[in-house]
Amino acid sequence: MNVLITGGAGFIGAHLTRALLERGESVAVLDNLSTGTIENIRLFAQHPLYSFAIDDVRNALVLDRLASEADAIVHLAAAVGVQLVVERPTETIETNVLGTHAVLTAAGRYRCRTLLASTSEVYGKGVKVPFAEEDDLLLGSSSRSRWSYAASKLLDEFLGLAAYREYGLPVTVVRFFNTVGPGQTGRYGMVVPRFVRAALRNQPIPVFGDGKQSRCFCHVRDTVRAVVDLLISPEGTSGQIYNIGSSQEVTIHELAQTVIDRTESQSPIEYIPYSEAYAPGFEDMRRRVPDTTKLHAAIGWATRYTLNQILDDVIEYERPLMVDAI
């Protein structure tokens, strides 16, 4: 299978590239390196089944050439991270919506199997936990740039499912819930690498808000395994939405304390109001827990990594980097 990964130089994209190459699939990556990095994909540079193009997913000529050689497209390219979304909402909306439109246009031209990466953010301020794919969605006011990301990814989903219904394009939507693991940057507000790096330096661990908000963290290897299985098992999964995430819920305060314990750190926990961390009026969700019953029924998927295993993997990856930085 020839697979095109947009945003393939990013965190999830690099792990997905490795998994597909190990299966013997051919992988082409398209990434403008706005958030992805060359370091993420340097190891693949000489692989005979790998190719890389530095360009924006909205470049129709480049995207058309790559799509014409692909059997399947995994569309990961997007604006990522709460901090980026709050600071640059225009870029967020344009990158997500116009990028997805471009991918679906190219995929439709060559009938490529397409997986669209969406996000748990689309559930917004919903209070029905766990979140299931057919639940109603509740977003905040459009005056809060915080919700521009959720709205743009939701529109991506509508575009993808419309292409399936109207044109028969084999499109599947996956909603990621807090995918983490070794190699993830903390540059855009990603909480686990930020906490681990602070703990390894014995620096204060910054917890935004009161720390009682809870999340479920999924190892990137579990996430990638789900994506690969959906990619190679299209029967009955086209035109569907699937949650991908762990059901092991933890508060952000508990996460910070667990990081301290597992790194044997002397770091204190420092609470920072959302208004100082992001912007006045910032809204956050108290709980975000996925229902993965549908995914399990489709491909037999379940998580294999616990939170402690995830943190240990991240700590093992980050510790030598801290030594090298001294």
Q: What is the pLDDT of residue 280?
A: 60
CA neighbor of 87 nearest in space, from 322, 221, 282: 282
- Which CA distances in Å does 203 have to 84, 194, 268, 298, 301? 24, 11, 7, 44, 38
Predicted confidence at residue 147, as pLDDT, reads: 86
Residue tagged active-site, from 50, 110, 123, 149? 149
- CB 96, CB 79: distance < 8 Å: yes
Q: How confident is the model at residue 286 (pLDDT cuts 50, 70, 90)?
A: confident
Who wins on pLDDT, 34 or 87? Answer: 34
Per-residue confidence (pLDDT) for residue 274, from 0 to 100: 77
Whether residue 247 is predicted with pLDDT greater than 70 in this model: the reply is yes
- Whether 315 has a pLDDT exceeding 60, the answer reads yes
Question: What's the longest Cα–Cα distance across the chain?
Answer: 58
Catalogue all structural domains in the chain, each as residue range(s) with its CATH number: 2-180+218-245+290-299 (3.40.50.720)
Question: What integer is the mean pLDDT of 55-73?
Answer: 96
Tens digit of pLDDT for each residue in 82-119?
667 777 778 888 889 999 999 999 999 999 999 999 99
Give tens-digit pLDDT for 255-271: 999 999 999 999 999 99
CB 252 within 8 A of CB 269: no
| DSSP symbol at 9 | T
Regarding pTM above 0.85, the answer is: yes
Q: pLDDT at residue 80 above 90?
A: no
What pLDDT, on a 0 to 100 scale, did the predictor assign at position 289? 96
With 70 as the cut, is the pLDDT of residue 187 above it? no
| 291: CB partners within 8 A, 6+ apart | 130, 131, 132, 133, 243
CB 219 within 8 A of CB 304: yes
Residues 186, 182: Cα–Cα separation, whole Å: 11
Higher pLDDT pick, 36 / 98: 98
> Which pLDDT value is given to residue 323?
64
Give 4's pLDDT tier (boundaries 50, 70, 90): very high
Q: What is the mean pLDDT of residues 212-217?
A: 96
Give the model's pLDDT for residue 284. Answer: 76
What's the pLDDT score for residue 282? 65
* pLDDT value of residue 130: 96
Instruction: Work out the mean pLDDT of the chain and round it to a whole number.
Output: 92
Predicted pLDDT of residue 188: 59
**pLDDT tens profile 106-162:** 999 999 999 999 999 999 998 899 999 999 999 998 888 778 889 999 999 999 999
DSSP assignment, residue 121?
G
Q: Quick one: pLDDT at residue 90?
A: 86
- Residue 36: which pLDDT band, with cuts at 50, 70 and 90? confident
Predicted local distance difference test score (pLDDT) of residue 87: 75
271 is known as an active-site residue: no
Residue 299: which H helix or E strand, with range?
Answer: helix 293-299
pLDDT classification of 189: cutoffs 50, 70, 90: low
